[in-house]
Amino acid sequence: MTTPISPLRLLLAAALATMLTGCYVPKETASIPNDYRKRHPIALKEGERTVEVFVGNNRGGLTPVQRAEVMSFAQTWRRESTGGVIVDLPSGTPNERAAAEALREIRSILTVSGIPPKAVSVRPYATGADKLASIRLKYSKITAQVGPCGLWPEDLGPSNTPAYQDNRPYWNFGCATQRNLAAMVENPADLVQPRGEIPAYTPRRTVVLDKYRKGESTPTTFNNDDKGKLSDIGK
């Protein structure tokens, strides 16, 4: 004859099973984010912008193209820099004297472009005698970075992993899209917070309000919509 199980034992067994069920969390499923934005987040880091100015042994000035490069470098510094400008000047190279003469012109371009002279620091560097040393202009800036992409910790084919059985996206899914977005954004801070509002364009606002008071149509009318039309096929 079997001994009947008391109701107290049944109650304790049910409570223990409930506790064990609530504590069970699959480790692999919990450790891998399902959202590609969490699996491949866009991180803001401090990067560097560098422009190299190549100076020959017998040249002491800059070419027109080099002047334009230095001018563009100075303009972007005012918009995105987080610090001063560092100039790496060749030392102990055949073009050392020519580079020192070109540095004077570079300094003048930076000053005219609005960079304070105190914000420019020069430091010498040595390189091999068989290489053409360049003047390196650099400054630090905030950049958006993602990756690295192309990591395949698991196969895409059938396997016993929970990620495959649950029909979850593979690990590298969305990484290229996130990386392209980080490379295309003009101001990385826009990924974190919106920009401050600026005043409305007064001339256009005045025209629209004047048309509204007169009872005229406020949208802009373009009279040359068909100017670039090549064919009437399909009409």
Residues 13-71: pLDDT tens digits? 666 666 655 554 444 444 567 788 888 899 998 889 999 999 888 877 888 999 999 99
Tell whether 50 and 90 lie within a shared domain: yes
Tell whether 176 and 119 lie within a shared domain: no
Mean of the per-residue pLDDT values of the chain: 81
The model's pLDDT over 88-115, given as tens digits with 9 standing for 90+, comes to 998 888 888 888 999 999 999 999 999 9
Q: How far apart are CA 86 and CA 132, in angstroms?
A: 20
The answer to the question of residue 205 being in a domain is: no
- Going from the C-alpha of 125 to that of each of 44, 46, 88, 224, the distances in angstroms are 30, 23, 6, 60
Q: How far apart are CA 106 and CA 96, in angstroms?
A: 15
Domain range holding 188? 27-42+146-192
- Count structural domains, the chain: 2
Tell whether 122 and 188 lie within a shared domain: no
For residue 92, what is the domain's CATH number?
Answer: 3.30.1330.60
The answer to the question of residue 33 being in a domain is: yes
